[in-house]
């Protein structure tokens, strides 16, 4: 087994069994990682507070392909507690982390994307601006995009499911759940 120590942002946490959970992370050195956290839901768990979504943490993982959380401590970047106070900010950042979790492949580290994530949280960017920067880093720069159907420049939407841009006229034919607004 290989041991990894890296800084990460907790993207999501899902209960798994009676006492365990699965955490989704975006880490500086490994990219997106899905790791098992044994005993996370137990009352005496020392990791549960750190492995909540929107926390920046320093984490130690072990495994070869299937990762397991061994240890986690708060990162010095974890000073965004005001995000969790405002329901509006909380919803916005959970939407951003959900988008990253759905869009980025596992074990594909990207330093530019890591720095973008930190920048978005540090500067409290709006949802539209955050999407544009993340899409740019993933190779889908909205500045150069055209509607997939009519080739109109400056489309307003990005379809997460098939990774295409759409103008307002053609977006109504797609499922609203799969679309993100990139331009008002």
Domain extents in the chain: 3-74, 81-181
Task: Residue 12: name the closest of 29, 37, 38, 42 by CA.
Answer: 37
- Give the pLDDT score at 82: 58
**Residue 179: its pLDDT value, please?**
84
Burial classification of residue 3, based on how many CB atoms lie within 10 Å of its CB (0-12 exposed, 13-18 middle, 19 or more buried): exposed
Query: Which of 167, 131, 135, 168 is CA-nearest to residue 152?
Result: 167
For 130-157, b where at least 16 C-beta lie within 10 A, e where not — what string? bbbbbbbbbebebeebebbbeebeebbb
pLDDT of 135: 94
For 41, half-sphere exposure in the C-beta direction (CA atoms, 13 angstrom radius) is 12
Tokens of 16: 């798994």
Which tokens in the block code for residue 171? 């977006």
Which residue has tokens 């295409």? 164
pLDDT at position 25 is 97
The pLDDT of residue 116:
96
Per DSSP, the three-state class of 71 is strand
Strand order in the sheet with 179-181: 164-166, 157-159, 179-181
- What residues pair up with 60 in beta bridges, in sequence order? 5, 71
pLDDT score, position 94: 92
pLDDT averaged per 10 residues, the chain (length 184): 94 91 96 94 85 94 91 81 71 93 93 96 90 94 92 91 89 74 72
**How many other β-carbons are positioned within 10 Å of the β-carbon of residue 104?**
17
Residue 165: predicted pLDDT: 93
- CATH number of the domain at 3-74, out of 3.30.9.90, 3.40.50.150, 3.10.100.10, 2.40.50.140? 2.40.50.140
Provide the pLDDT for residue 46: 87
CB atoms near residue 119 (< 10 Å): 12
Distance of CA 9 to the CA centre of its chain: 8
- pLDDT for 96 equals 94
């Amino acid at each position: 087994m290989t041991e990894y120590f890296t800084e990460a942002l907790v993207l999501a946490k899902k209960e798994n069994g009676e006492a365990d959970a699965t955490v989704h992370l975006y880490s500086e050195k490994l990219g997106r990682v899905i790791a098992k956290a044994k005993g996370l839901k137990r009352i005496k768990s020392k990791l549960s507070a750190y492995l909540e979504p929107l926390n920046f943490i320093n984490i130690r993982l072990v495994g070869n392909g299937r990762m397991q959380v061994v240890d986690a401590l708060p990162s010095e970047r974890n000073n965004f507690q005001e995000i969790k106070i405002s329901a509006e900010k909380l919803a916005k950042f959970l939407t951003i982390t959900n988008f990253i979790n759905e869009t980025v492949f596992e074990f594909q580290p990207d330093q530019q994307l890591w720095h973008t994530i930190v920048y978005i949280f540090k500067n409290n960017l709006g949802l539209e601006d955050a999407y544009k920067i993340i899409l740019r880093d993933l190779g889908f720069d909205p500045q150069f995009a055209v509607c997939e159907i009519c080739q109109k420049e400056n489309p307003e939407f990005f379809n997460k499911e098939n990774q295409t841009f759409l103008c307002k006229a053609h977006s109504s034919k797609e499922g609203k759940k799969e679309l993100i607004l990139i331009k008002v």
